[in-house]
């Protein structure tokens, strides 16, 4: 015999969760669903649809049938709604305004780990090259030797880059740096690859600083790196952090299986990488046209400081709870 009150009590929590997920998607879009939230929404929707069919078959009270019909209809609307161009644009804006900073805050430990690997590599290479200058070639690939020579001669203060050369250079840099980020992410399940890539970047940076310091041209090195480095290095750290996040799913899956942990973390990892695209583009444009141009050091330092402050504010800006509607 169908006991409606008992049925409602046993299912109420499930229905409330469905309503909460539907409300979240309506307000903030599917990108704001945590981890496996979309799969969870679909699962509860299907179960609640079965509940609706069951109560209809059991001839439950009209109020219960109407209630379930309403929440199932709302869930169907957010799951299968056809997005217009305007809807897609609003989702895009919401992602970069609120969704992406939230993902970075949530996964900042992995970005910090990527940064730490680079610092370790830089400190080690700097110490070794300063104490044993002959080891410079160990850390600097042959194709970068001419660049090191240019930095040692202070080229950033002695040369100019035309608009045409800058456009070509920036395009190449965008491609290269994006590839480094994608490799760090794509091979993240190994854990070792993104860690090695960050160490290797640190090796190059530390060795370069150690090689340039004795020449007295460090004052031209930093203004030639920092203006684009704020965006470029941040983007690389984020991509490597996304890779480490995937790898950590296998190292420490918690209460989930490794495959479940990977699926659960993959959404955030992909979002982390997608959000770096504007940073790589900006870094390539700045490096190709500003970092090595005849612009005063003060302007370049100010530009780098502004970029770094803007990134920090973007991720950690104050967030105010919306006022309750009267």
Record the pTM.
0.69
Tokens matching residue 62: 């009209």
Residues 177, 286 within the same domain? yes
Residue 301: the pLDDT is 93
> CB count, 10 Å around CB of 89?
11
Residue 168: the pLDDT is 47
- On whether residue 163 sits in a domain, the answer given is yes
* Full residue range of the structural domain in which residue 253 is found: 101-316
Residues 200, 145 within the same domain? yes
**For every one of its 326 residues, what pLDDT tens digit does the chain have, with 9 covering 90 and above?**
668 888 888 888 888 888 887 877 766 665 556 656 667 777 888 888 888 888 888 888 888 888 888 888 888 877 776 555 555 677 778 788 888 898 899 899 999 999 999 999 999 999 999 999 889 888 887 766 777 777 777 766 655 544 444 444 445 445 656 677 788 887 777 778 888 888 988 898 899 899 889 988 888 888 888 898 899 899 999 999 999 998 888 888 877 787 878 877 888 888 899 899 899 888 888 887 887 778 888 999 999 999 999 999 999 987 544 444 44
Residue 98: the pLDDT is 81
- On whether residue 113 sits in a domain, the answer given is yes
* Angle in degrees, 0-180, between the axes of helices 163-186 and 277-286, rounded to the nearest 10: 150
Residues 122, 178 within the same domain? yes
Residue 321: the pLDDT is 41
Residues 157, 271 within the same domain? yes
Residue 121: the pLDDT is 95
Residues 166, 47 within the same domain? no
Contacts 24+ apart (CB under 8 A), 187-192: 187/243, 188/240, 188/242, 188/243, 188/244, 188/245, 188/246, 188/247, 188/269, 189/243, 189/246, 189/247, 189/249, 189/250, 189/262, 190/247, 191/244, 191/247, 191/248, 191/250, 191/251
Angle at 238 between CA 175 and CA 116, to 5 degrees: 115
CB 222 within 8 A of CB 151: no
Residues 172, 74 within the same domain? no
Domains identified in the chain, total number: 2
Residues 74, 212 within the same domain? no
Residue 185: the pLDDT is 81
Among 50, 81, 112, identify where a domain stops: 81
Residues 122, 249 within the same domain? yes
- On whether residue 246 sits in a domain, the answer given is yes
- On whether residue 105 sits in a domain, the answer given is yes
Residues 64, 178 within the same domain? no
Residues 66, 143 within the same domain? no
Residues 64, 202 within the same domain? no
Among 33, 49, 81, identify where a domain stops: 81
For the CA atoms of 283, 289, 293, 297, the dihedral, rounded to the nearest 10 degrees, stands at -40
Residue 173: the pLDDT is 46
- On whether residue 89 sits in a domain, the answer given is no
Residues 214, 67 within the same domain? no
Tokens matching residue 8: 């409602």
Tell me, letter by letter, the H, E, C secondary structure of the chain. Answer: CCCHHHHHHHHHHHHHHHHHHHHHHHHHCHHHCCCCHHHHHHHHHHHHHHHHHHHHHCCCCHHHHHHHHHHHHHHHHHHHCCCCHHHHHHHHHHHHHHHHHHHHHHCHHHHHHHHHHHHHHHHHHHHHHHHCHHHHHHHCCHHHHHHHHHHHCCHHHHCCCCHHHHHHHHHHHHHHHHHHHHHHHHCHHHCHHHHHHHHHHHHHHHHHHHHHHHHCCHHHHHHHHHHHHHHHHHHHHHHHHHHHHHHHHHHCCCCCCHHHHHHHHHHHHHHHHHCCHHHHHHHHHHHHHHHCCCCCHHHHHHHHHHHHHHHHHHHHCCCCCCCCCC
**Distance of alpha carbon 53 from alpha carbon 55, whole angstroms:** 6
């Amino acid at each position: 015999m169908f006991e409606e009150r008992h049925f409602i009590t046993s299912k109420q929590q499930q229905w409330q969760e469905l309503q909460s997920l539907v409300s979240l998607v309506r307000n903030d879009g599917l990108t704001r669903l945590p981890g496996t939230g979309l799969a969870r929404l679909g699962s509860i929707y299907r179960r609640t649809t079965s509940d609706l069919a069951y109560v209809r078959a059991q001839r439950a009270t009209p109020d219960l049938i109407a209630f379930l019909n309403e929440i199932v209809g709302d869930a169907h609307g957010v799951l299968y709604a056809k997005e217009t161009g305007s809807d897609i644009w609003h989702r895009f804006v919401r992602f970069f305004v609120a969704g992406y900073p939230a993902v970075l805050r949530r996964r900042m430990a992995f970005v910090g780990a990527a940064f730490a690997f680079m610092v370790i590599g830089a400190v080690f290479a700097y110490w070794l090259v300063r104490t044993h200058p002959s080891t410079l070639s160990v850390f600097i690939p042959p194709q970068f030797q001419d660049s090191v020579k240019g930095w040692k001669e202070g080229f950033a203060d002695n040369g100019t880059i035309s608009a045409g050369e800058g456009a070509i250079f920036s395009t190449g840099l965008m491609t290269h740096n994006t590839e480094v980020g994608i490799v760090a992410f794509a091979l993240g399940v190994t854990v070792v690859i993104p860690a090695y890539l960050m160490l290797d970047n640190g090796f190059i940076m530390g060795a370069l600083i150690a090689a340039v310091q004795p020449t007295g041209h460090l004052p031209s090195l930093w203004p030639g790196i920092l203006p684009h480095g704020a965006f470029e290095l941040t983007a690389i750290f984020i991509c490597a952090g996304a890779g480490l996040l995937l790898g950590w799913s296998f190292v420490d899956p918690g209460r989930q299986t490794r495959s479940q942990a990977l699926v659960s973390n993959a959404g955030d990892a992909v979002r982390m990488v997608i959000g770096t695209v504007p940073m790589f583009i900006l870094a390539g444009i700045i490096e190709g046209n500003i970092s090595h141009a005849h612009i005063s050091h003060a302007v370049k330092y100010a530009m780098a400081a502004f970029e770094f402050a803007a990134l920090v504010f973007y991720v950690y800006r104050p967030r105010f709870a919306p006022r309750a509607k009267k």
